[in-house]
């Protein structure tokens, strides 16, 4: 009976150890960045890789094959398993090289603030979503900065409002858009019907109206 009690106690201790480790392991796995993920963290990863010379494509916030290959090259050069997945060890190694000062998140928040600071929060997220939809569309540049600065596309860039400093709400809206929020249902354009003069803008089928902006494709 004494041996049986010891055996049961040992099994319970082993089970307790497994249960206590499993949540941490699950958290580590869930924090890994890999193909198919779109988020603010992926955008940061791309910029870190770019600053070190590994990523030369557009900053999209989407973890595709180009990002995976860049991660694998970085891993190979730094003694890590070159699996193309940015797990905890890879992220820690990247962070050891320092932070990226000027980021595409800043630029996205800036265009949101300059174009839609008088709109609701949803309306601000919508402007950010249009930028990201363009990045993924194949009809526009494949980089957040290049989409924003493409000549003739955003009034705020043309009239200088883009130089205004974004507030916390604009940053929050940018993060929401980067993490997949899209109130526009995939729209690539928007305009203000009260002041728009371009006939082609008004001729496009409206997808949704949010505040003073009508979003179209």
Q: Give pLDDT tens digits for 33-71.
A: 999 999 999 999 999 999 888 998 999 999 999 999 999
- Please determine, for residue 177, whether its predicted confidence score (pLDDT) is greater than 50: yes
**Residue (of 173, 179, 182) closest to 109 by Cα position:** 173
Q: Can you tell me the mean pLDDT for 24-39?
A: 72
- Please determine, for residue 142, whether its predicted confidence score (pLDDT) is greater than 60: yes
Neighbours of 1 (CB within 10 A): 5
pTM given for the model: 0.74
Identify the band that residue 19 occupies on the pLDDT scale cut at 50, 70 and 90. very low
Phi, psi of 187 (to 5 degrees): -65, 150
Q: Can you tell me the mean pLDDT for 154-182?
A: 94
């Amino acid at each position: 009976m004494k041996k049986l009690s010891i055996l049961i106690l040992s099994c319970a201790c082993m089970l307790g150890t497994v249960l206590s480790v499993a949540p941490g392991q699950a958290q580590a796995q869930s924090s890994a960045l890999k193909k198919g993920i779109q988020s603010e963290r992926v955008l940061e990863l791309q910029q870190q890789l770019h600053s070190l010379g590994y990523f030369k494509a557009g900053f999209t916030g989407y973890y595709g094959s180009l990002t995976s290959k860049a991660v694998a090259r970085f891993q190979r050069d730094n003694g890590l398993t070159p699996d193309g997945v940015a797990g905890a060890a890879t992220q820690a190694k990247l962070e050891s090289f320092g932070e990226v000062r000027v980021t595409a998140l800043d630029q996205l928040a800036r265009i949101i603030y300059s174009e839609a600071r008088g709109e609701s929060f949803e309306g601000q997220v919508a402007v950010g979503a249009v930028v990201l939809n363009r990045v993924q569309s194949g009809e526009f540049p494949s980089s957040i900065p290049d989409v924003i600065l493409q000549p003739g596309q955003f009034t705020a860039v043309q009239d200088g409002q883009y130089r205004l400093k974004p507030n916390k709400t604009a940053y929050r809206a940018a993060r929401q858009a980067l993490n997949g929020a899209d109130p526009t249902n995939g729209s690539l354009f928007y305009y203000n019907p009260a002041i728009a003069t371009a006939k082609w803008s008004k001729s496009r089928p409206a997808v949704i109206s949010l505040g003073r902006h009508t979003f179209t494709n």
